[in-house]
Amino acid sequence: MSTAAQLGISAALAACSPDVRECLAAACEGAHLSFEQGLRLATAEGPSLEALITVADALRRETVGDAITYVVNRNINFTNVCFVGCSFCGFARGAGAPDAYSLSAEEVVRKAREAWERGATEVCIQGGLPRDLDGFFYRDILRAIKLAVPAMHVHAFSPMEFSYGADKTGMPLRDYLRMMKDEGLGSIPGTAAEILDDRVRQQLSPNKLPVARWVEIITAAHELGIPTTSTMMYGHVEEPADWVRHILLLRSIQKRTGGFTEFVPLGFIHEKTRLYKHGGARAGAQREDHLRVHALSRVLLHGAIRNLQVSWVKLGFAMSLECLKSGANDFSGTLMEESISKAAGANFGEFVPPEEFRRMIRSIGRIPAERSTTYKIRRLFESPEASDALESPAPASLPLMQEKSHQPYAEGAY
């Protein structure tokens, strides 16, 4: 750590409360903080919050350096038909709804091929849960994509979808996951997590996976060599103690398996959700909570999960850049089209050209880098000149298929 960074940390620690200072000093020494220490940081205010942010940013620099990564990818949400009934979701429709849709495997392949031709290295595939889904449909999508675009990384299906698919086929979970890996599954989005506490999950979605099943699926995937992301949705009915328990559970899984590639905090998009409209949730997170959650995540996960991603779809660009100065190091993906958050009220989410990511990253004095899904650096753009030489201007945004009728869901993560 540079002398300037050490001086900055010392000044921040000197200004904060003694108990927060003790927790942050322990984190700087490499300690894995306890629940009680995490809760103290999760409720930090004023100078103590500023100290948390300063230390988180220093731990980020120590762990991953000054590069901010992004992946060139496309989201493909193949159906909005779903029976689960999550109260925080603005996406799901009944099978007979006029704006219900389901893409065929051929349509999904067309989107994947189009993404590859535009420079994407990843497609992220998730969708609703129709009652009449064939459990082998997920396998067939993988098989079709890998046949058409063999080099494309397929980041696909939430733990909820894997549980549903295994139940539909009658296959044991591990056999089902192994089959999916054999058919081309590259990694799994760690969504359907929300808050990993069954009390909170009952309020959000009684039909969603219980915590134990989510952990079972994620752990089994890691043990079979399938990496996953990890996520947490905040800003609804949960409390700071729930953040800490959730993050520490992820840390404990990572210590056992090492299979998480990143952690992605997801701010609740409230405007169009039943949960908020019926008075069951607060109106999303405020600025300080966004900073607090990202900084807390970096500190509690230090030495466990290296990469901390911002969800620009949830946060917007200005808030994302603030969080990237508060411990985060990854800007997520270009998406090309986004069917995750806009139905819940998000104002972002269709397409960010790679050069726009690079411009924003440089605006805060950091170095842009394109990565693979599993965080291998594909290209480091150390100067604007290198960027201009390597890549021509991006073509216009992709046309969005039936954009008005494809309403996105609020859970999200990539």
DSSP string, 217-232: HHHHHHHTT--EEEEE
Task: Give strand ranges (E) for 36-87.
Answer: 67-71, 73-77
Cα dihedral 256→377→336→312 (10° resolution): 60
How far apart (Å, rounded) are the C-alpha atoms in residues 18 and 127? 47
Cα dihedral 403→152→410→282 (10° resolution): -130
How far apart (Å, rounded) are the C-alpha atoms in residues 219 and 151? 26
Question: Is the model's pTM score more than 0.75?
Answer: yes
pLDDT at 272: 61
Location of structure tokens 């599954």: 185
How far apart (Å, rounded) are the C-alpha atoms in residues 182 and 197? 32
What is the per-residue pLDDT across 11-23, written as a single tens digit (0 to 9) for each? 889 999 999 999 9
Across the chain, mean pLDDT equals 88
How far apart (Å, rounded) are the C-alpha atoms in residues 81 and 97? 9
- Across the range 254-277, mean pLDDT stands at 85
Q: What percent of the chain has pLDDT over 70?
A: 85
What is the per-residue pLDDT across 307-347, written as a single tens digit (0 to 9) for each? 999 999 999 999 999 999 999 999 999 998 645 444 444 44
The pLDDT-based confidence of 354 (bands split at 50, 70, 90) is very high
- Judged by average pLDDT, the poorest of 111-115, 130-134, 226-230, 271-275 is 271-275
How far apart (Å, rounded) are the C-alpha atoms in residues 115 and 208? 31
DSSP 293: H
Location of structure tokens 């609804």: 236
How far apart (Å, rounded) are the C-alpha atoms in residues 40 and 48? 10
Short-list 410, 398, 400, CA closest to 120: 398
How far apart (Å, rounded) are the C-alpha atoms in residues 11 and 9? 5
